[in-house]
Amino acid sequence: MEHRKTIVIDPVTRIEGHSKITLQLNEQGRVEDARFHVTQFRGFEKFCEGRPFSEMPALMARICGICPVSHLIASAKACDALLAVRIPPTADKLRRIFGLAQVVQSHALSLFYLSAPDLLLGMDADPAASNIFGLAENNPQLARDGIRLRQFGQQIIERLGGKRIHPAWIVPGGVSEPLTQANRDAILSALPEALQIAERTMEWFKSVTEKFREEITTFGNFPSMFLGIVKPDGGLTFYDGKLRFTNAAGDVVADGLDPATYADHIGEKAEPWSYLKSTYYKPKGFPDGIYRVGPLARMNVADRCGTPRADQELAEFHELQRTAVLSSFYYHQARLIEILYCIERMEQVLNDPEILSKHVRAIARPNALEGVGACEAPRGTLFHHYRIDEQGVMRWANLVIATGHNAVAMNRSILQVAKHFVHGEHLQPGMLNRVEAVIRAYDPCLSCSTHAMGEMALRIELRNADGELVDHLMRP
């Protein structure tokens, strides 16, 4: 017998993209399997074919309105490889600042707008109040801080790139315009307030985590490998470095890997029930080669951040667990550490004597027919891989997105949460919110990872041992 109940929650769910979750029950009414279906079509690579490669950075930025800068950087680096040029040192530094500002604004969106309502109001709060407005009503300072911190990052992007969304300032060979002294001074003057907000939020987050012991234990808390780009000295970086894989014990599995050889180490698997490709560490195969990327992974693979406040918080972070920090709940704390790092690192780079140099672009024709660009996007390691013909026309592209790296882990996390919180044949709003919350911890960008437009909609289906639908909940 089917029991259907629809719960409409307004505003819409706090997940970017269109997706569905299926929970499979056994004959005893317990959750046996769970799947996270991304129901958008992946097609961006195909319609890039036939375009001049020089258009790729600006075009690729259109993949996402949340992290366009990350696609700009990875795409431009792939184009740099096609040109076979070394970009001017000042252009390198300006790209880094651009990327750091992107991380701040994206992390602020994830933490304050999407996840903070759960952390402030609780997982069982009225869904109608679990949003930025409920946050503002219950903690006005926290809401203001979130809005201000995101504004801080976006204003830097605007000062450098000319606009906040889809800037085309990063180009093959460097950047299109140098930094003016007025804009440098304006950015520097805004840093102290941003740092205060980040420090204040970190203290708040650590003060509320004790209330979420059950969630910490069950929110994607399992052994896996971790992947991130690190500097030659093992330090945190978002712009340039080598690939490092570590295991659940915190030991390095593979190090110093050239991002251009990513396909030798990372496999991509297409599942019949999702448009989101699942990646895996090739030496271990699928699905044993599960790994995670993003803030939690970067904190686990990096030996240090390289700035004072961030390093202090990283040391405290590693005290959470003797091995690598495994619970995906701690993605939130890792984001806050990275915000601190980004603000501190921007100050270091902006005070470099070369930062106002007018030499910001290397001009060349294509000197290679294949190029790979990689960087650390807010959500994790990002690869752009291009092939062109002799005329510089795109013939093939492959994009490996952070959310795809986390696909296997997200599925396992949903199953862990569902097994713990779902009982019987009926879904409750609190359970739905916990499933959403573990996905939000990863901060997936579904439109980004499938390179398609989508709606904010989540459907959870509960099926019995015979595969029959017994209950569902739907976000509009």
Both tokens of 466, joined, read: 């015979």
Cα separation of 86 and 92, whole Å? Answer: 9
pLDDT at site 474? 59
Distance, in Å, from the CA atom of 94 to the CA atom of 104, rounded to the nearest integer, reads 16
Distances 452 to 10, 55, 64, 257 between C-alpha atoms, Å: 24, 19, 9, 30
How distant, in Å, are the alpha carbons of 24, 55, 73, 320, 401 from that of 67?
Answer: 34, 18, 10, 30, 11
Closest among 363, 294, 359, 398 to 78, alpha carbons compared: 398
Q: pLDDT tens string for the chain (476 positions)?
A: 343 322 222 222 444 455 677 777 777 767 777 777 665 565 778 888 999 999 999 888 887 767 789 999 999 999 999 999 999 999 999 999 999 999 999 999 999 988 999 999 988 888 778 888 889 999 999 999 999 999 999 999 999 998 767 778 999 999 999 999 999 999 999 999 999 999 999 999 999 999 999 999 999 999 999 999 999 999 999 999 999 999 999 999 999 999 999 999 999 887 765 667 789 999 999 989 999 999 999 999 999 999 999 999 999 999 998 889 999 999 999 999 999 999 999 999 999 999 999 999 999 999 999 999 999 999 999 999 999 999 999 999 999 988 889 989 998 998 898 888 877 666 676 777 888 888 889 988 766 655 433 333 455 666 666 667 777 765 44
To the nearest 10°, the Cα dihedral for 366, 380, 114, 59? 10
Pairing mode of beta strands 18-25, 457-463: parallel
DSSP code per residue over 21-83? EEEEE-TTS-EEEEEEEE-S---HHHHHTTSBGGGHHHHHGGG-SSSHHHHHHHHHHHHHHHH
What does the CA dihedral 229, 271, 327, 105 come to, rounded to 10 degrees?
A: 50
Specify the pLDDT at position 39: 56
CA 72 from centroid of its chain's CA atoms: 15
DSSP reduced 3-state for 210: helix
Listed in order, strand segments (DSSP E) in 236-331 are: 242-246, 252-257, 266-269, 278-281, 291-292
Q: Burial-class residue 136 by CB neighbours within 10 Å (0-12, 13-18, 19+).
A: middle
Which pair of tokens denotes residue 292?
């995670």
The token pair at 336 is 């806050």
Are the CB atoms for 403 and 281 separated by under 8 Å? Answer: no
Structure token pair of residue 186: 């304006």
Task: Give me Rg for the CA atoms of the chain.
Answer: 22
Residue by residue, DSSP assigns 103-165 as: HHHHHHIIIIIIIHHHHHH-TTS-TTTSSHHHHHHH-HHHHHHHHHHHHHHHHHHHHHHSSSS
- What is the per-residue pLDDT for 333? 97
Which pLDDT score is estimated for 12? 28
Return the bridge partners of 278, or none: 269
Q: In terms of C-beta density within 10 A (0-12 exposed, 13-18 middle, 19 or more buried), how is residue 226 classed? A: buried
What is the structure's pLDDT at 434? Answer: 86
> CA 462 to CA 476: how far, in whole Å?
18
C-alpha dihedral (319, 320, 323, 326), degrees to nearest 10: -150
Residue in 434, 463, 475 with CA at minimum distance from that of residue 32 = 463
The length of the chain, given as a count of residues: 476
Closest CA to 271 of 279, 260, 261, 263: 279
User: Strand 380-388 to strand 370-377: parallel, antiparallel, or no bridges (unpaired)?
Assistant: antiparallel
